[in-house]
């Protein structure tokens, strides 16, 4: 199965590719010591060797955005004409008392719009952190992105589960990854950016020059 048919074809042909990162504070890199240590730059540095035709990464992350704000910005993402859009969300709507049905319906519509405009799609789910675990409205938003990805046939990166596994693997705590109890810091972004890039490499079979080293 080809998860990203358009994007994978370009990679395999050695053509330049464009990726748009579309989301909220994680995509923006809130919590990193410098912008260069945020999710987007780490992802770009990790994936670039596997895009021999050239890679452009467009960061459309704005902290605090939920489904409503991302919908309002959708035309920007359409205009980016990205070959792949990596959507990240499902956190801020829980704080905003947005009905989960609105989140699901709006996100579904927006993802379908991006798909109709020719972009392949991937999704990153919410994080595992103290503030969200203590938020009574969070559980349905934790589960909704994964269910929507399954419904729409969109590859889904389960950040919530990955963060738990990183804590066990590296002998760190949830608060080590998110010192302010919500946003990731440099080490967390390093793990996330590298993991999402390698997840994408595995799904595409990206033919980068470093693929076999």
Q: What are the sequence ranges of the domains in the chain?
A: 5-204
10 Å Cβ neighbour count for 124?
26
User: Six-digit token pair at 19?
Assistant: 């990726």
Question: Looking at residue 177, what is its pLDDT?
Answer: 94
Question: What is the gyration radius of the CA atoms in the chain, in angstroms?
Answer: 16
Question: Looking at residue 209, what is its pLDDT?
Answer: 44
Contact 131, 94 (CB under 8 A): no
pLDDT digits (tens, 9 = 90+) for 53-112: 999 999 999 999 999 999 999 999 999 999 999 999 999 999 888 999 999 999 999 999
Question: Looking at residue 1, what is its pLDDT?
Answer: 58
Question: Looking at residue 132, what is its pLDDT?
Answer: 94
Question: Looking at residue 3, what is its pLDDT?
Answer: 85
Q: Which segments in the chain show pLDDT lower than 50? A: 209-213
Topology (CATH level 3) of domain 5-204: Rossmann fold (3.40.50)
3-state DSSP helix/strand/coil percent for the chain, to nearest 5? 55, 10, 35
Question: Looking at residue 206, what is its pLDDT?
Answer: 82
Contacts within 8 Å (CB) and 24+ apart, 70-76:
70/22, 70/23, 70/24, 70/107, 70/110, 71/106, 71/109, 71/110, 74/110, 74/113, 74/114
């Amino acid at each position: 199965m080809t998860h990203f048919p358009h994007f994978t074809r370009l990679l395999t042909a050695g053509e330049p590719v464009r990726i748009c990162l579309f989301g909220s504070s994680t995509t923006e890199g809130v919590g990193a010591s410098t912008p260069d240590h945020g999710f987007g730059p780490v992802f770009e540095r990790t994936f670039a060797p596997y895009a021999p035709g050239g890679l452009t990464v467009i960061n459309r992350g704005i902290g605090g955005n939920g489904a409503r704000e991302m919908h309002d910005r959708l035309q920007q993402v359409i205009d980016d004409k990205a070959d792949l859009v990596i959507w990240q969300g499902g956190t801020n709507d829980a704080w905003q008392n947005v009905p989960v049905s609105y989140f699901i319906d709006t996100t579904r519509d927006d993802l379908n719009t991006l798909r109709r405009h020719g972009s392949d799609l991937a999704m990153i789910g919410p994080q595992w952190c103290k503030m969200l675990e203590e938020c009574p409205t969070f559980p349905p938003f934790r589960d909704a992105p994964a269910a929507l990805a399954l419904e729409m046939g969109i590859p889904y990166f389960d950040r919530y589960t990955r963060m738990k596994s990183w804590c066990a693997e590296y002998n760190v705590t949830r608060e080590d990854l998110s010192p302010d109890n919500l946003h990731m810091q440099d080490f967390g972004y390093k793990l996330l950016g590298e993991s999402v890039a390698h997840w994408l490499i595995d799904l595409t079979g990206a033919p980068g020059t470093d693929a076999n080293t």
